[in-house]
Amino acid sequence: MTSADQVAKVSSTTRDPFLDVIRAFAMIAVIANHYLYTLLFRNQQGQFELVMLQENGNPWVSWPFIWELQAFFLPAAALSYSAALRTNWRVFIGRRVWRLLVPVVPLLIGLILLQVTTSAAGMGKCASWTTGLTCATAMPISPLWFLMVLVPLTIATPLLARAWRGPWRIVMPLVVVGFSLISDARWISTGSTIPLNDISVWLLVWFAGFAYAEGTLLRVRAVVWWRIVVGGSLVMVGMVVVGPYPPWIGSSPRTSMAALECVVGVSLLMALRSPLCRIRDRKFVDLCVRQVGDRVMGVFL
């Protein structure tokens, strides 16, 4: 067992090199995933449209980012677990939610100014949105959906952490999977999922963060994680081929495809844990950890 594998638990006084690395690069991946291949163009009616490349005949570009949101949510849950157990729930929720909402105020001011100026410049409404926003305003908003997930998950963390420590931990992820399957059945028959499914699927990553914090995931060998990655990926490909699931990662509405994406993404991160720990102190990685992980991601985690 390497020294990297011996980092058993996350605490407020110990820096986990694995969490350091993935939370820093998660934000970089979010930017790349949402902006580097977002297309802005005029349709046949002369209206601006905002379409991501994977939704425009190039689904392959999304698959390398299967780990992205897992790398965001897993550290958030892992770093919240112990604090949620030892802190009064009102204090925990108040501090964490306030920290999440503080950046929203300058963001809203910036978006209002962007909307006013782009509308005045004659950009017009974004045809792919029904809110009347210009595409210039819609572009920075679209990746921020995670706040709508992170805030309720943060509020629920004290309750979830205590339940996870009890006898129901095995049942909790099974309930999420069952809920997702029921939502899938509704989606296939009616075309719409159960609204809460967009949040519930990310509970799987949240629970994985709890399991990481208490050391459970660390007892699984890398070869097992690789088997889950390969097997889960093959199942995902099969779901796309057989249908009716879309061929790109991160599709909306969330379905059991997204739930499986969570499992594969977490497994991939855990399979790579030892090499990721070993690169923590390299100059470029350390710079990303300090400038992106601690400064930017520290707001969310």
Q: What is the pLDDT of residue 11?
A: 37
Confidence of residue 13 (pLDDT cuts 50, 70, 90): very low
| In the chain, where the domains are located | 10-295
Give 146-177 pLDDT, tens digit per residue: 667 788 888 999 999 999 988 888 899 999 88
Predicted structure pTM score: 0.82
Q: How far apart are CA 252 and CA 241, in angstroms?
A: 18
Check the CA dihedral 137-102-34-188 and report its sign: negative
Q: Which comes out higher in pLDDT, residue 140 or 239?
A: 239
If you average pLDDT over every residue of the chain, what do you get?
82
Q: How far apart are CA 37 and CA 62, in angstroms?
A: 10
Q: Which range in 86-95, 151-160, 224-233 is most confidently predicted, on average pLDDT?
A: 224-233
Q: Which comes out higher in pLDDT, residue 75 or 192?
A: 75
What own/partner pairs with CB < 8 Å and gap ≥ 24 does 160-163 have?
160/84, 160/203, 160/206, 160/207, 160/210, 161/80, 161/81, 161/84, 161/85, 161/210, 162/84, 162/85
Q: Which comes out higher in pLDDT, residue 37 or 45?
A: 45
Q: How far apart are CA 292 and CA 294, in angstroms?
A: 6
Q: What is the pLDDT of residue 6?
A: 41
